[in-house]
Chains A and B, each alone.
Chain A
Amino acid sequence: MSLPSGTFNQGYGQDMAIFRTRTHWVMLIAFLIFLFACPLFFGDRILTVLTIIGISVISVHGLNILTGYCNQISMGHAGFMAVGAYTSAILTAKLGFSFWAALPCAALAAGIVGIIFGLPSLRIKGFYLIMATIAAHFIIIWVILQLYGITGGSDGLSVPRPEIGGFVFKSKSSYFYLVMIIACLGTFLAKNIVRTRAGRAFIAIRDNELAAEVMGVNLWSYKLVAFFIGCVYAGVAGSLLVHYVAFATTDQFPFMNSVWYLGMLIVGGMGSTAGAIFGAVFLKLLDELVTIFGPVLSAAVAPQAAASLSLIMRGLVIILFLIFEPRGLAHRWQMIKSYYRLWPFSH
């Protein structure tokens, strides 16, 4: 943790604290107050956008642990989300489970499937692992479609909304709170996971597998742990998504979503918890902006000008980041913070 000029850590507790100074705490509380006050200021539309961003943040946190910290590039993240989504959907819609029981089951199921598809990760890496995870996505979707009697196949499955003590999370604001609470918890957990022994092992694997192994890091088990944790996050995100729409269909988890989640990591900054948030927020807001501008551009230039605009913009932003800021927005944020830490004494 970087500290303001003149502030020093005097014990292990202080050294490990995420929020070290009073300013940090004030900023955190202010942010949380602002976040949870959003339903007071914004309508259903903005709340929908924020809810989707929250779900994406949860998913990207998982991918960040897997790819950003442990360097196991996964292009099957949307598939793992589908596992969580369908587990939750089947448990609630077909077996009458409560959402609160189904959510951890969804996380667990996605984690287990993640472990299964993560098994080859010890033997293959890089491009070959990417191909393996792409295959994972298509296998998962294929299996879901084949299990027509359970999953509803391509017709999908109607899913009940979460409920607690007779209160149904039906309104946009109530679901927003649900997602944001889970997103905040997920962020807190993600931040702490990477500070644990496992997290340090992930980073060691990312930086140099051979060196990590020589130091006694069990590559096999830690890679699988990374897959498990990453997919647990994906499962939670998938479950939240289908309960939000109140319907589960494989079309909610297209392969391209996996690509965009990776794009979010690139834009936000791989290997940074804040980066996962920045990336998800940035690309989702960019999407909204482009959607609004589409008809304007179409009217001003040509009817077809709006077609594929989102894809082009997202692709362009990712390319620009890869060229000019490969460490993402999180790095920029660090630089801004560093600048102000010494302010007004520049170095």
Chain B
Amino acid sequence: MTKIKWLFIASIIVLLLAMPLLAACPGEETTTPATTAPPPKTTAPPPVQKTLSIGGCFALTGAYAEDMAAVLAGFEDYAAYVNETHKLAPWRTETFPEDITLEVLWRDDELNVEKVLSIYEELKDKGLLVERTSGSPQALALMNLLNEDRIGATSSAVGPYLLSPPKTIFIQYPVYTDATAAIADWFLDNWKETRAPRVAYLTADNAMGKSVVIPEMDVYLESIGFEVVGTQFVPLVPTSPPTTQLLWLKQNKVDLALGVMINPGAQPTYKEMVRLDMGPDLGYKIAFGTASPGHAVVFAEALGEVGDGYLCAGSYPPLSEVTVPGIQFCSDLQDSYRSDRVTHIMYPHGVVEAMVQVEALRLAMQKVPIDELTPVDVLEYGFYMIKNLETGGITSTPLTFGPGDVVGMDEVLVQQVQGGKAVALGTWPLHNIYKHE
């Protein structure tokens, strides 16, 4: 036992000594030559290979772990594609400089704000000129820091708070309020009765879910003819069916329930709805829709026909829809660079996010030489200059950003589960519901 104790103490000491040393280890130089091959006999000097980093924080631990793993895979495959072909996408004619290699820098932030802060500083030290946030807590925590450092970022969290200044986080799918508004628009287009439809929020009880429960949303819903009844919260990942919340909807004669949920929340909620005979084609008629990340594709795969009627706005076309050039591109990327195929819908999201970061870097490099490139250059000459970035149909419209314009697209794709499959119902215009200060 004494030996074990001493071994334990020794391992602790080694660990303690190793930690500061490793933490203080300088990162790889991001703009230094990566190859040291001897010069050829010809007079022309060899191109000096330089490295640029993309990536940022990925919440590989926690509720979004599966989504973020797919996003990271999208980043890695897109970087590999650009490195190999020096193209930006099959449908684009512009090329990426051949003397630059892209690398993906990432860290698991665990959805933990304190951790995000140190990761942010670490990646900044390593020369990452762009950033990304994976969830609302991280986006909220980094918003001011990103602005202070003038670093442009992409995000897979799209709360309306991103529309408040400083606006340096750029997004590829609509903010939750605009996405849920699109569901309301669709619902109203199909409303047959003469009375005003009754709507309630049925949403996750975290920052993401609650971000739609704002006065501006009520005003919009009432302005188009809804009667807003109230709000019910469901845990982000429910540990028991939200029966009470659903029965409240029934008692209050709600016709449409809107919210923001991830699939681990939306699926048990909908299953319980069906069990309670609630649904568009069941005894109690009600429609239920969530903003992406409650992706209809993931939902349909898990629930099949049980999930019929479920609505989702702001998501991407299914990975099976290879007629969409962007989705075909994602499929080709996986064929080329991935042995285990990623089937999660967030893979195209990762590809698009990487595309935006690379485009920002490419545009900035047209103004400033790579060795002198700073995050401010990438923000001002890169992100702000992205206009009509074609994503091959992965996003509802091509992406355009600018100072004060952080939402890339102008329309919202609404999908519904029909016959166990995610079916596109069409696109609805963005209303920019959230009015920032």
Contacts and interface: CB of A to CB of B under 8 A. Distances in A.
Interface of A: 42-49, 52, 55-56, 145, 153-156, 158, 170, 172, 241, 244-247, 249-252, 254, 282, 285-289, 291-292, 294-295, 303-304, 306-311, 320, 324-325, 329, 332
How large, as a class, is the contact surface on chain B?
35 or more
Contact of B117 (A52, A56, A170, A304): A52
B112 A254 contact: yes
Contacts of A286: 15, 19
Given A145-B210, A245-B141, A251-B113, A307 B108 contact: yes
B234 to A, nearest CB: 14
19 contacts: A46-B23, A52-B118, A154-B159, A156-B140, A158-B144, A170-B148, A241-B114, A245-B144, A249-B141, A251-B136, A251-B206, A285-B20, A285-B23, A289-B15, A291-B108, A292-B25, A303-B73, A307-B69, A310-B115
A285 to B, nearest CB: 4
B122 interface: yes
A247 B141 contact: yes
Nearest to A291: B107
A308 B61 contact: yes
B262 interface: no
B187 interface: no
A167 to B, nearest CB: 16
Contacts of A329: 12
B24 A46 contact: yes
Interface stretch (B2-10, B45-53, B221-229, B402-410): B2-10
B23 A245 contact: no
A287 B60 CA distance: 14
State the main secondary structure of chain B at its contact with A: helix
B210 A52 contact: no
Contacts of B161: 155-156
A309 B69 CA distance: 14
Interface string B209-244: 111011000000000000000000000000000000
Given A48-B118, A325-B8, A309 B137 contact: no
A291 B117 CA distance: 12
Contact of A250 (B107, B143, B207): B207
Contacts of A308: 60-61, 65
A158 B166 CA distance: 11
B8 A320 contact: yes
Name A's interface SS.
Answer: helix
Contacts of A55: 114
A246 B60 CA distance: 25
A310 B110 contact: yes
A250 B144 CA distance: 16
B376 interface: no
A254 B63 CA distance: 13
A282 B206 CA distance: 30
A252 B139 CA distance: 11
B119 interface: yes
Question: Which 6 pairs, one residue from A and one from B, show the smallest C-beta to C-beta distance?
Answer: A251-B137, A154-B210, A45-B121, A285-B19, A154-B207, A246-B144
A306 B108 contact: yes
B161 to A, nearest CB: 5
Interface in B360-379: none
A282 B141 contact: no
B30 to A, nearest CB: 15
B118 A45 contact: yes
A311 B22 contact: no
A310 B15 contact: no
A49 B207 contact: no
Contacts of B24: 42, 46
B86 interface: no
B180 to A, nearest CB: 15
B55 to A, nearest CB: 10
A182 B209 CA distance: 36
Nearest to A278: B16
B106 interface: yes
Contacts of A285: 16, 19-20, 23
B145 interface: yes
A73 to B, nearest CB: 23
B124 interface: yes
Choose among B114, B122, B144 the residue with the greatest number of A CB atoms under 10 Å from its CB.
B114
The residue in B69, B111, B112 that gathers the most chain A C-beta atoms within 10 A of its C-beta is B112
B141 A252 contact: yes
Contacts of A252: 113-114, 137, 141
B160 interface: yes
Contacts of B214: 155
A324 B22 contact: no
Given A154-B206, A291-B108, A251 B140 contact: yes
Given A46-B24, A155-B159, 11 more contacts: A47-B121, A154-B210, A155-B207, A156-B161, A249-B207, A286-B19, A289-B19, A289-B22, A291-B107, A291-B118, A303-B73
Nearest to B113: A252
Interface string B1-44: 00011001100100110111011110000000000000000000
A224 B380 CA distance: 55
Nearest to A325: B8
B144 A311 contact: no
A52 B114 contact: yes
Contacts of A250: 207
Contacts of A46: 23-24
A153 B23 CA distance: 36
Contacts of B208: 154
Contacts of A291: 107-108, 115, 118-119, 122
A246 B122 CA distance: 19
A282 B19 CA distance: 9
A294 B8 CA distance: 23
Contacts of B23: 46, 49, 285, 288-289, 292
A42 B23 CA distance: 11
B183 interface: no
B18 A324 contact: no
A294 B117 contact: no
Contacts of B25: 292
